[in-house]
Structure 1
Amino acid sequence: MQAVLVELALEHGSPVLADYLKASAKAHGSARLTAVSLKMVEQAAALAVAQPQLDHGVGMWFRPLVAQRLKAEGIATLGDLIDFCNGRGGSWWRAVPRIGAGRARLIVAWLRRHEAVLERRVDADVDLADPLTAPAGELVTIDGGSRALVPLERMAVGHALSGAHGSNRSGAFPYISAHHDLDAVRTYLYRFRQQPKTLRAYTKELERFLLWSVTVRKKPLSSLLADDCEAYKDFLASPDPAFVGPKAPRASGRWKPFASAELGAESQKYAIRALRAAFGWLVAVRYLAGNPWEAVTDPVVVERIDRIRVDRALPAALWQRIRNFIDMQCDAADASYWRAVRVVLLLGGDSGLRREELARATRERLSPTSFGDAETPVWQLLVIGKRSKERVVPVSPATIDALQMHWRDRGLDFCTATSGPLLAPMFIPRTRLAQKKHADGTPLAYHPDSLNTMIAWAMKRLIAGMPDLTTAETNLLAGTSPHAFRHTFGTQATAEDVPLDVVQRVLGHASLQTTSIYVQAEKQRMLREVNDFYRKNGSL
């Protein structure tokens, strides 16, 4: 009790008392207290723990080791702790070494019990459970004698195959606190919490491999050798029928790791590279002693030059017609959604943006240049594309006009604004999740999937409102997505003799060979058009 009182007094007592206690501890190994000093310590401790306050240090309320680990991450006060939890969500504890899920649940529960006193609350979406682990009642234990197949979050592994004593476990001091293979895999995946697509893809590959390792190979992940990895490489080429089934929700008993028994060579190659990268990280953090995947070669994949669906690009004449049609729809006062559609059309077709780039584009990254006319300059937009690479793309005067009208619909002045998403919905949906997400004034922004919905909506009305469309044009528009506008930019830019390296930079292609596909597409279109000319003139 005295030690606890001294700790509290050191952190929250007067500077004079703190200096006295430190000097006493230095002289005697621990603080010796006279009757007077003990009374002072008791008063300081009692005052410190009267009621939790936002500016109280975490050491006042949590055990010394817990407080020490929180402070090491810059979490000094209870207010800092609440902000940290709200900023990172349910997995906040993974960013604090040696604060596990169990202790994190206790901390959050304590903060919620004192919400009224603290006058600040932990957000409801700071789930007390680990998002990569289902509640205990939903876990399914798999082992060498079980054929149960469940997703990673519902998976528990019997001790014999858990990897707690895997033969490939590193003997050096580990950098992560994983006790078994599932812990290690979840720690690795947590690194991608802010990259949902990557997280989904890597989770799929690792859960498949874990299930195969335990139920088919009957070995812990941390005991697999290169020949085991070669066996899994063969398994990917022809998965066990028990692993294959139609797509089903992850919580469903019908869920299977593979949706098809025919995994393409590129998918097999991706799986092996994802596993090699994961094992490499586990070696780097000293969970594993070595990476057996380094001894395994990638499957042979025939490189195809036509992987990009350039056939989805809109011909120049059709492109101009749909632009004119959409412009007419935008003239009505109540046509705000059409004006948002026009922004998507032009940022894709005039600037070559991917839909994810378009959804993330912001006003602060858009600026005018000295090119173009004085009244209608060409603007430039800094884009963060694939592999988090930045590039600058041109933005046409027509796009700027469309953006100004769209921002006016949102009640904002585009010219004076300095921040905000370039494209945003007009209102917050009345769903509980949407209302909660934007309750604190979080700016509205379209999700990339919503852009597909928007363009599908527009294409249906285009087809219905343009009676002069041919059957081929109707079919093309029916399958048009935001990405088709990007292909339209590529094909039309090359047709107008824009240098190929310029088109490559605008589109953000890693290889000039990829951009050259648009040249081939334009060549094929030219041959088709001339062939039609020959047929009409009887030259065939």
Structure 2
Amino acid sequence: MANQPQQLELPAPRTYSRTEFTALRARVKGLSIATIARAYFDAETTEPLDVERLLRTMRDDLVTLALREGSSVLTAHLQASIAKHGEARLTPVTLQLIEEAAGQWATARPAMDHPLARWFRPLVAERLAGEGIRTIGELVAFIERRGGSWWRSVPRIGAGRARVLVAWLRRHAQSIGRKLTVDVELADSLAAASPIVVTTGAGQLTPLERLAVPAELSGTRGANRAPGFAYVRAAHDLDAVRAYLHRYDERPETQRAYKRELERLVLWCVAERGVALSSMTVEDCDAYKSFLKQPSEHFTGPPVARASRQWRPFAPGGLAPESQRYAVRTIRAAFTWLVHVRYLAGNPWQAVTDPAVVKRARKLQIERALSLDLWTRLRTTLADRASLTGAAGARWRAARALLLIMGDGGLRIAEAAAVERPALAWLPAEDETPASWLLEVIGKGMKQRFVPISDESVDAIRAHWRDRGQDFDAADAEGPLVAPLVVPPTPRARAKFGAPNNDDTPCTSIAAGCYSVRGARGLTQWAIEQLLEALPELPEAERRKLARTSPHAFRHTVATQMLASGAALEVVQQTLGHASLGTTSIYISPEQSRLRREAAKYHARLTQVDR
């Protein structure tokens, strides 16, 4: 039987990314391997020897493809170079010809699971990795989730670079398998942008700063408008809402919470109900109360910047019963004020009952307080990480200072972010009272209190100030106790931190501005994620507790540990700034573990009786 000829199939050629092609061009032009490795590859994962080996293999692969697919002139040139030197000696011109001949086979196509370091320069990949974005798929998801202002939350990724990244992702949408629908938004102020008119059944919703409503729904002729002279110069409902919110200019956290609830109500009235705010009846109020349980899909969306077109007033899933009650009470109080200033004739919300809420025997949040052993281990690990050098060590020192302020003084996240150096004073020993640091805190309701801070906390703050290039112990020291080390190159960030706005480079050692609450929360979350990785030996129960830890958990930790050490209840009340002892007393409720132990004894006794 004659042998049948077999068709040999050559293996598919290896493909290379744009970054690797750029690196090979640089090598052909004479750049050293060390320079190429530093400029185009991740120095932490790639050694210069690996880069040299990669470029040599890449050159051989491209030459092989060019010999098979290139023109006769190029083939003859390459064969002559190989015969003379034993390998193909390339010039920029011959490399360009080879790329044209072999590029369609050797050029890689981006995919969702590809690491960013394969496609983008190391600095860009490193900055994105700092926010947990390591693959193309994660970058696409991050952009879609955050909207057009996604780049603001990534340090040193400005609007220009964001546009380049989005354009690149769209250009390769077919191979990635997903097309971006988000445009890069550059506006730094919603108030400065042109208003958007929201109508009944309209597709677009917009925050209060940019909201405009049709004349028939504006409330200029609302059915519930009070006759006669009004005490506020409010021509329509939006003016009235803004006048009410203006009362809380000196209480930004309260103002933000009230604004959120009134913003939601105004948007619902216009876009969903088709009624002016000043024409609401009891039936309208009850309808909105029901709407809070399950907002329509059009009103919900993931958290994004307020400037984003994807912004929505509600998160998916609606509000918890406690949040529904808070919304109704907030709106009722606002309407009461509008009646008092004679903008409205009456308050329909007075006839609406609060949403039903389970009366809890204790605040479940206090179960998130860290145990003494876990908190001690975290402090030790924070101190170890704070001794690192470079940018990583500086970020650890900022995180350590913030966490110790909250975990030693019981400060809320907003208080810890806003407190400044002049508020911290050293008090010498007096009789039996030891020397200590005392921190003045202006808390909720503009209430002043004084909180003792440990020497360890002050040492952590002092180290953080050294990173900022400032002297914590100087007589004229000013500035926030904890502040960002790098200011993004955006006009809004420059203005906030008092930085010059004349270039596109980040600023460092700027002391004029403190962390925003969102920024401080992000730093806390980053530290917790890093601590989980640094403590793999943690018991599973403590690991789960740490993973659920929020900034407020450190405040709970202060309360529970102070009471466990024998501190008087009124002392803990003053430390936390509670308005009443009743609020503080939740921390002395029986612990869940003790409750379970006592119940187990009772159940065991019942079992013995049955026998």
TM-score band w.r.t. shorter chain: 0.5 to 0.7
The whole-number CA distance in structure 2 between the counterparts of 1:451 and 1:343 is 11
Instruction: Give per-residue Cα distances to partners, 1:180-203, cap 9 Å, x unaligned.
Output: 223323443444456554444333
Instruction: Give per-residue Cα distances to partners, 1:303-346, cap 9 Å, x unaligned.
Output: 32443522322221222222223223334565333332322232
Q: Does 1:368 align with 2:437?
A: no
The whole-number CA distance in structure 1 between the counterparts of 2:210 and 2:597 is 57
Q: Does 1:393 align with 2:451?
A: yes
Instruction: Give per-residue Cα distances to partners, 1:124-154, cap 9 Å, x unaligned.
Output: xxxx999558525xx33525xx555623455
1:337-352 → structure 2 map (5 Å cutoff): 337-352=395-410
The alpha-carbon deviation at position 443 of structure 1 amounts to 1.0
Match of 1:326 in 2: 382
Q: When the two structures are superposed, what TM-score results if normalisation uses the length of structure 1? A: 0.64
The whole-number CA distance in structure 1 between the counterparts of 2:212 and 2:386 is 56
The alpha-carbon deviation at position 212 of structure 1 amounts to 4.0
Match of 1:48 in 2: none
Instruction: Give per-residue Cα distances to partners, 1:393-417, cap 9 Å, x unaligned.
Output: 1112222233333333333332334
Match of 1:485 in 2: 554
Q: Does 1:159 align with 2:228?
A: no
CA contact (8 A) 2:468 2:511 kept: no
Match of 1:176 in 2: 232
In the superposition, relative to structure 1, how do residues 477 and 435 fare at CA in structure 2: closer, same or farther (>3 Å)?
Answer: same
1:422-433 → structure 2 map (5 Å cutoff): 422-433=481-492
Q: Which amino acid aligns with 2:348?
A: P
1:142 to 159, 182, 199: 199
Match of 2:592 in 1: 524
In the superposition, relative to structure 1, how do residues 384 and 210 fare at CA in structure 2: closer, same or farther (>3 Å)?
Answer: same
Q: Does 1:494 align with 2:528?
A: no
The alpha-carbon deviation at position 355 of structure 1 amounts to 1.3
Q: Which amino acid aligns with 1:142?
A: T
The alpha-carbon deviation at position 295 of structure 1 amounts to 3.4
Q: How many residues align?
A: 402
Match of 1:201 in 2: 257
Match of 2:18 in 1: none
CA contact (8 A) 1:428 1:444 kept: no
Instruction: Give per-residue Cα distances to partners, 1:443-482, cap 9 Å, x unaligned.
Output: 1422232333333333344334345322333333333343
The whole-number CA distance in structure 1 between the counterparts of 2:347 and 2:462 is 54
List alignment gaps of at least 5 residues for structure 1: 1-127, 533-539
| RMSD across aligned positions (CA) | 3.8
Q: Does 1:310 align with 2:366?
A: yes
The whole-number CA distance in structure 1 between the counterparts of 2:518 and 2:553 is 14
The whole-number CA distance in structure 1 between the counterparts of 2:268 and 2:223 is 18
1:421 to 455, 480, 485: 480
The whole-number CA distance in structure 2 between the counterparts of 1:249 and 1:445 is 20
The whole-number CA distance in structure 1 between the counterparts of 2:471 and 2:463 is 9
1:277 to 326, 333, 348: 333
CA contact (8 A) 2:484 2:514 kept: yes
In the superposition, relative to structure 1, how do residues 402 and 299 fare at CA in structure 2: closer, same or farther (>3 Å)?
Answer: same
Q: Which amino acid aligns with 1:383?
A: V
Secondary structure of 2:344's partner?
Answer: coil
Secondary structure of 2:439's partner?
Answer: strand
Q: Does 1:403 align with 2:461?
A: yes
1:244-263 → structure 2 map (5 Å cutoff): 256-260=312-316, 262-263=318-319
Aligned identity (percent) is 46
Secondary structure of 1:392's partner?
Answer: strand
The whole-number CA distance in structure 1 between the counterparts of 2:199 and 2:357 is 34
In the superposition, relative to structure 1, how do residues 218 and 475 fare at CA in structure 2: closer, same or farther (>3 Å)?
Answer: closer
The whole-number CA distance in structure 1 between the counterparts of 2:560 and 2:426 is 26
CA contact (8 A) 1:129 1:135 kept: no
CA contact (8 A) 1:372 1:378 kept: no
Secondary structure of 2:323's partner?
Answer: helix
The whole-number CA distance in structure 1 between the counterparts of 2:193 and 2:598 is 61
Match of 2:470 in 1: 412
In the superposition, relative to structure 1, how do residues 389 and 398 fare at CA in structure 2: closer, same or farther (>3 Å)?
Answer: same
The alpha-carbon deviation at position 354 of structure 1 amounts to 1.4
In the superposition, relative to structure 1, how do residues 129 and 279 fare at CA in structure 2: closer, same or farther (>3 Å)?
Answer: farther
The whole-number CA distance in structure 2 between the counterparts of 1:531 and 1:285 is 56
Match of 1:378 in 2: 436
In the superposition, relative to structure 1, how do residues 201 and 327 fare at CA in structure 2: closer, same or farther (>3 Å)?
Answer: closer
Structure 1 residues 319-328 or 225-234, which shifts more?
Answer: 225-234
Q: Which amino acid aligns with 2:554?
A: F
In the superposition, relative to structure 1, how do residues 527 and 301 fare at CA in structure 2: closer, same or farther (>3 Å)?
Answer: closer
CA contact (8 A) 1:336 1:406 kept: yes
The whole-number CA distance in structure 1 between the counterparts of 2:517 and 2:305 is 22
The alpha-carbon deviation at position 362 of structure 1 amounts to 1.3
CA contact (8 A) 1:339 1:402 kept: yes
Q: When the two structures are superposed, what TM-score results if normalisation uses the length of structure 2? A: 0.57
CA contact (8 A) 2:483 2:511 kept: no
Match of 1:44 in 2: none
Q: Which amino acid aligns with 2:401?
A: V
In the superposition, relative to structure 1, how do residues 147 and 349 fare at CA in structure 2: closer, same or farther (>3 Å)?
Answer: closer
1:450-529 → structure 2 map (5 Å cutoff): 450-520=519-589, 523-525=591-593
The alpha-carbon deviation at position 349 of structure 1 amounts to 1.8
Q: Which amino acid aligns with 2:499?
A: A
CA contact (8 A) 2:428 2:434 kept: no
Match of 2:161 in 1: none
Q: Which amino acid aligns with 1:173?
A: F
Q: Which amino acid aligns with 1:424?
A: A
The whole-number CA distance in structure 2 between the counterparts of 1:155 and 1:332 is 48
In the superposition, relative to structure 1, how do residues 493 and 529 fare at CA in structure 2: closer, same or farther (>3 Å)?
Answer: farther
Secondary structure of 1:290's partner?
Answer: coil
Structure 1 residues 154-163 or 384-393, which shifts more?
Answer: 154-163
